[in-house]
Structure 1
Amino acid sequence: MNIYQSVLQKLNSGEKIVLVACMKNDGGRRFFSEKHYYTEADITAPGFGGQLAKNVYEGINQSLATGEIKIIENQESDVIIVEPFFPQPQLIVLGGGHIAKPLTEFAARLGFLVIVVDDRLSFANSKRFPTAGKVICESFAKCFDLLKLNAYAYIVIVTRGHRHDMDCLRSALKNQWKYLGMIGSRRRVKSITEQLMMEGYSPEVLAKINAPIGLEIGAVTPDEIAISILAQIISFRRLQDPRQGRNSPQVNWTEFDRDVIEELAQARCDKKALVTVIATKGSVPRKAGAKMIVWPDGRILGSIGGGCSEARVTQTALDVILQGGYMVQDIDMTGSIAEDEGMVCGGIMKVLIESIADDNLAKKQGS
């Protein structure tokens, strides 16, 4: 199993990961001496870091806490990149009706792994929801047995009836999630809340349900309602305690290009280069963590922002494929350079370009 297979497996199970890569420059020969990953459980365990340098240990903990890539100059010829990976947020849409369609489409564009559930085969199918990661046809009472919920799950209840809403809420309240919202009139929401309280659910638990769902923006059409729901979900993802008015940012999530990670996890025996944005300054199209793969024939998967700047990085990547090792390149998007390329950005990105082969993907988890 290569390291990206392991990383993807851990992320799919809802775990945070930190990938630590040691880069060496030995007389002009640049190469990765090792790559290790650590889960959040590893990092927080007693005794972790006993064999690590102090600045590396601190960098790993800071990266996990802040969600930021850390670049550590350990020795004159060593540079260590500490990169956090957080699980892709899941959007669980319970109900496949008219609101679910735009909700699924918009959420997929926002980077959510969307799962749609309905108990009717005519509604629960991939033709109706082509952008969903998974579509499940199952009763609302039983579907939670098929869902692997974690702390990054956002649950939206948009079923067609009171009974189904109750089934979803009862199951959801027994699970882990980041956000739980239910559509319905205030009268319907009040009736459901009162019934759940009679069943023994505490007011504190029920208060965590966002119902009626979405931000109050006067939404009327299915598309508008979907936008109001996703706006509320984004506030829960990006801000601390949005319902309490405390709008300080949460942890900075690095960019997550799932297609790129999945391709790396395939461990195909072909030459390619991996490009990763490792630092940014000012206004740039992608944040640190954004990735793309470049193949010798010029094909790419993923993006670090597009434009002529990306084309220059692609050319460098082709050289790295031929020479092996790695290079670090700055992309200047300031002043006249950005203007000439028609970009509204005005910042600088530092990118790591590395040759990828099975031998530098096969490092195991660090101890």
Structure 2
Amino acid sequence: MEKIFNKIKEALVSGLRGAIGTIVRKSGSSPRSEGTKIVIFENGDIFGSIGGGRLEAEIIQKAKGVIERQKPQNIDFYLKGKDVAGLDMICGGDVEIFLEPFNPKDRVLREIIDKILELYGLGKRGGLATCLDQKSWKRGESNKFLITQDREIIGRYEEIPSEQITQLLHITSSKIVNLGNMNYFIEPIVSIPTLFLFGGGHISLHISHIASLVGFRVVVVDDRDEFVNSERFPEASELHCIPFEEVLNRLSINSDSYLVIVTRGHLCDKTVLSQALRTNALYIGMIGSKRKRDTIYRALMDEGYTREDLQRVHCPIGLSIGAETPEEIAISIVAELIKIRAESKEGGVL
């Protein structure tokens, strides 16, 4: 989602108008989840997708009018027959799209986008609320607001009770919520999960590439200079050449962190794992056979770790898809990361 907001920011800075189409409600087997966006620019460029097919084609067509009028539009779409086939769906479903305009003169939107990108950069949370009552929108002015985890509020929120606004910080999934007698589409703004790759070998090369494509921020760690450089890992956000014994003290690992241990040998794996178990990382995975796992586990239990501690570890790592080559193993590992990430987003307070 950060890429979407970056594209909107680029358009605003360059003086380009456009429209944002967001799935705000769905039922049945619609192809994408609530919060999925497509951005249509007035020069004809498009970024993102809400599923393709006739649905997307119609949204792109209607965006022209939204951009010209500078007023939003609610669009209900029932997918069936050929529409379903074109989207690779098994059965039909209802989809509601909120199509909203943006323009460089919209000061509120510019401030909100800047703050959202700042939150992503700082790893902080927030909640974005967009009013779905198109009549409440003034021409060329966004009717939305953002609240940050520091309780800073930007945008139009004057008629909404403060207790309802602060509740937005606790949401974990995008949904429609009634605020101040109007329906708003609420979206959590959360930091991009960080994947720490311990070991810069051939499997990590493929994991780094695939993980970056599906929305993970990648950090590569090895104790050998020649294995941690931008030529090997062009997608990595950070590269660290440090002793494996010091990773816990030298890295910022939190509850949004995913740790994948793929070092060059058992001893290094054990060294990293013993420190990983002392973190609150969301995911800990270690490559290796069950025999290797059991050997390392016995050694760690001798050091005082419990069976409950070790149950946090995914080992053998990755989904069971019969992977054999480094590329296939990397795919199985990233697939497991995607699964864990999706499961962590389920539920919500509101």
TM-score (norm 2): 0.57
| Partner residue in 2 for 1:53 | 160
- 8 A Cα contact 1:24 1:31, kept in partner: no
Q: Which residue matches 2:340? A: 236
Contact 1:63 1:83 in 2 (8 A): no
- Read off the aligned partner of 2:141 and give its amino acid letter: F
Where 1:142 maps in the other structure, the secondary structure is helix
- Provide the rounded CA distance (Å) in 2 between the counterparts of 1:96 and 1:27: 51
C-alpha contact 1:24 1:30 (8 A) present in aligned 2: no
Separation (CA, whole Å) in 2 of partners of 1:27 and 1:18: 20
Cα distance between partner residues in 1 of 2:166 and 2:268: 44
SS in 2 for 1:61: helix
Counting matched residue pairs gives 233
CA distance in 2, matches of 1:194, 1:214: 22
SS in 1 for 2:202: coil
Q: How many angstroms does 1:140 deviate by?
A: 1.4
C-alpha distance in structure 1 between counterparts of 2:114 and 2:246, whole Å: 30
After TM superposition, give the deviation of residue 177 of structure 1 in Å.
Answer: 0.9
- SS where residue 305 of structure 2 aligns? coil
1:156 is paired with a residue whose SS is strand
- Write out per-residue CA displacement over residues 97-136 of structure 1, whole angstroms, 9 at most, x where no aligned residue: 0100111111111111111111111110010011112221
Matched, 1:65 2:166: no
- Mapped pair 1:84 → 2:188: yes
Verify the 8 A CA contact 1:24 1:79 in the aligned structure 2.
no
Amino acid at match of 1:152: D
| Distance in 1 of aligned mates of 2:186 and 2:119 | 17
Q: CA deviation at 1:219?
A: 1.1
Q: Does the CA-based 8 Å contact 1:25-1:31 persist in structure 2?
A: no
Alpha carbons of structure 1 residues 251 and 11: separation in structure 2 relative to 1, 3 Å: farther
Instruction: Give 1:28 deviation, angstroms.
Output: 5.4
The Cα shift of 1:216 comes to 2.0
Alpha-carbon contact 1:216-1:228 (below 8 Å) kept: yes
Q: Relative CO higher for 1 or 2, CA cutoff 8 Å, sep ≥ 6?
A: 1
Q: How far apart are 1:202 and its partner, in Å?
A: 1.2
CA shift in 2, pair 1:203/1:111, >3 Å: same
Aligned to 1:38: 148
Instruction: Supply the distance in 1 between the matched residues of 2:138 and 2:192 (Cα, whole angstroms).
Output: 38
- Contact 1:214 1:231 (8 Å CA) reproduced: yes
Cα pair distance change 1:33/1:190, threshold 3 Å: closer
CA distance in 1, matches of 2:137, 2:322: 64
Runs of at least 5 residues in structure 1 that lack an aligned partner in the other structure: 44-50, 241-248, 253-367
**In structure 1, distance between residues paired with 2:168 and 2:236:** 34
Q: Which amino acid aligns with 2:167?
A: N
- Name the TM-score, length of structure 1 as normaliser: 0.55
Aligned amino acid, residue 132 of structure 1: A
What CA distance in whole angstroms lies between the structure 1 residues aligned with 2:137 and 2:219?
51
Which residue in the other structure is 1:266 paired with? none
Query: Does the residue aligned with 2:285 lie in a helix, a strand or coil?
Result: strand
Matches within 5 A, 1:92-171: 92-171=196-275
> Unpaired runs of 5+ in structure 2?
1-110, 153-157
Which residue of the partner structure matches residue 73 of structure 2? none
> Are 2:147 and 2:166, in contact at CA under 8 Å, matched by a contact in 1?
no
Find the partner of 2:278 among 165, 168, 174. Answer: 174
Using the TM superposition, give the Cα deviation of residue 214 of structure 1 relative to its aligned residue in structure 2, in angstroms. 1.3
Task: For 1:120, give the aligned amino acid.
Answer: R
